[in-house]
Amino acid sequence: MISSMTGFGRGGAQTETRRVKVEIKSLNSKQLDLSMRVPTCFREMEVSMRNMLAEKLERGKVELNATVENIVAETTTTVNIELLGQYKLQLEEMQRRLNLPEPADWYTLLMRMPESMRVETAVVDESEKQAFTDACQEAVDGLMDFRRIEGRKLYYFFVDKIHKIRELLEQVAPYEAERVPRIRERLEEQLARLSSIEYDRGRLEQELIFYIEKLDVTEEKVRLTSHLNYFMETLGGEDEYKEAGQGKKLGFIAQEMGREINTLGSKSNHAEMQQIVVRMKDELEQIKEQVLNVL
């Protein structure tokens, strides 16, 4: 069973003092395009977490957002009293030297000075690091489950489209058989109008055979059938899990199917056959659009 690149997962964990929440979503992309937004306190774990995500997710445009909130009240911001004292001394010196009036509100003035508040970097212990890892793992597992569910939907979609192309290909046979008499009749009618021109009947038969051979679509039908079979083989069975990378392979097979259908259309020389080819192209285009979502 194939997997989709589209998915969403959510995870959470907590310690005695903090609660960690992680959300991760994925869309289709030719390769892994990973962006992470994590709290500053977990930045040291970002590299290892990226490696884990790259190994598990493999492809897709992936966005991970993590948040942390304190369960118990704590503050990491304090007034920088030592620095404010130095500011006050310098301002009083400036007041004496320049004969300036004393400030009406020392508190407001000093709190506007640079770095008046000191922000202490939050320190995380091993339990909080483990909580972040567990939340990420839970989110990734949820994303992978979502991808498999979407992959199952894609599987049934592809099976239906391949079946329709097979049915359309079978409809070509009756029109293919009646083309030869029509082509012969049309050429003979055209030659009959040219009464003043003599032609070799035997040479006409040779040219007609050569022309009909150029319009033969047997090889295209055989190759298209082979591509349809290979596409289904690559999809795997309904309960058979396929490794990642099938999306690119299915895309290549769909391209080959398109070549055979185009050649079939250019050789058809028959209105009804061309209509069938147009319907086959429509089914194939829908396959190509959805193949982009396959992992």
Dist CA 209 CA 215 (whole Å): 10
Class of residue 59 by CB neighbours under 10 A (exposed 0-12, middle 13-18, buried 19+)? buried
* Dihedrals phi, psi of 68, to nearest 5 degrees: -135, 135
- Tens of pLDDT, residue by residue over 272-295, are 888 999 999 999 999 999 999 998
Q: Find the mean pLDDT for residues 105-121.
A: 74
Give yes or no for residue 74 having a pLDDT over 70. Answer: no
Dist CA 14 CA 127 (whole Å): 9
Instruction: Say what the pLDDT of residue 164 is.
Output: 95
Instruction: Say what the pLDDT of residue 266 is.
Output: 83
Would you say the C-alpha torsion 216, 172, 264, 157 has a positive or negative sign? negative
Instruction: Say what the pLDDT of residue 144 is.
Output: 92
Instruction: Say what the pLDDT of residue 235 is.
Output: 86
Q: How far is CA 1 from the centre of its chain?
A: 17
- Tens of pLDDT, residue by residue over 245-271, are 688 899 999 999 999 999 888 887 778
Structure confidence at residue 209 as a pLDDT band (50, 70, 90): low
Reduced to 3 states (helix: H, G, I; strand: E, B; else coil), residue 239 is coil
Domain extents for the chain? 7-74+127-145, 77-119, 148-291
Alpha helices in the chain (DSSP H): 46-57, 81-98, 106-111, 126-170, 172-177, 179-193, 201-214, 218-235, 246-268, 271-291
22: CB partners within 8 A, 6+ apart: 10, 11, 12, 64, 65, 66, 132, 135, 136, 138, 139
Q: Find the mean pLDDT for residues 129-144.
A: 91
Question: Which of 97-111, 205-219, 260-274 is least confident?
Answer: 205-219
The CATH architecture annotation of domain 7-74+127-145 reads 2-Layer Sandwich (3.30)
Strands 18-27 and 77-79: unpaired
Dist CA 12 CA 22 (whole Å): 6
Per-chain mean pLDDT for the chain: 83
Instruction: Say what the pLDDT of residue 126 is.
Output: 84
Instruction: Say what the pLDDT of residue 115 is.
Output: 73
* Dihedrals phi, psi of 37, to nearest 5 degrees: -125, 105
Take residue 99 and report the two structure tokens written for it. Answer: 């004969």
Which of the residue ranges 25-39, 77-91, 107-121 has the most confident prediction, judged by mean pLDDT?
25-39
Burial 32-54 (b: 16+ CB within 10 A, else e): bebebebeebbeebeeebeeebe
